[in-house]
Structure 1
Amino acid sequence: MKNLIVDWDFLRLLRLGIGLWLGFLAIAESQLIVGVMAALFLLQAIFNIGCAGGACNTPWIRANHKHLIKEEVFEEIK
């Protein structure tokens, strides 16, 4: 539950704004398709999922992972 109220970045706020705007248009114009699109954008904003169900979220600052890379040892064959 705590994840729903933290880490609001620009794209998440943009999805929220688009969802609210489309929701207003759906109600004002009585359009079901626009209402479905609004619900999609609002769910993406609330649960912080974008592409591939949130699997595309990468950290802004990458940690140094050199210690995880193993050096390959090759032996010359004559």
Structure 2
Amino acid sequence: MKKILHKWHFMRIARVVLAAAILVQSWYAKDNTTAVFGVLLLSMGVFDIGCCGAGSCYTPLKKNHTGAHKKSVYEEVV
């Protein structure tokens, strides 16, 4: 419950608003496929899930190796 009520940011609000608009449109158009997409987007916004919602896109930084560097050898192509 704490995750639902706290840490609302722009993307969460945008997902919920867009999902509400999609659900209203699917209601008027009587389109179930669009309603499924709207429910999916609404759940992503309410529960803060998705690729970058919970920081799941984090990639660790590579450490710089200060060891010996290989010298590159170049050949002239004619």
Q: TM-score w.r.t. structure 2 length?
A: 0.67
Query: Which residue of 2 is the match for residue 36 of structure 1?
Result: 36
| d(CA) in 2 for partners of 1:7, 1:33 | 30
Report the number of matched residues. 62
Q: Which has the higher contact order (CA 8 A, sep 6+)?
A: 2
| d(CA) in 2 for partners of 1:8, 1:52 | 14
Query: Which residue of 1 is the match for residue 19 of structure 2?
Result: 19
Whose helix fraction is larger, Structure 1's or Structure 2's? 1
Instruction: Please identify runs of 4+ aligned residues in structure 1 that moved more than 6 A.
Output: none
Please state how far the C-alpha of 1:52 moved relative to its aligned partner.
7.0
Identity, % of aligned positions? 25
Please state how far the C-alpha of 1:2 moved relative to its aligned partner.
1.0
- The residue identity in structure 1 corresponding to 2:2 is K
Please state how far the C-alpha of 1:53 moved relative to its aligned partner.
7.6
Stretches of structure 2 that go unaligned for 5 or more consecutive residues are 68-78
Larger Rg: 2
Stretches of structure 1 that go unaligned for 5 or more consecutive residues are 58-68
Query: Which residue of 1 is the match for residue 7 of structure 2?
Result: 7
Contact 1:23 1:35 in 2 (8 A): yes
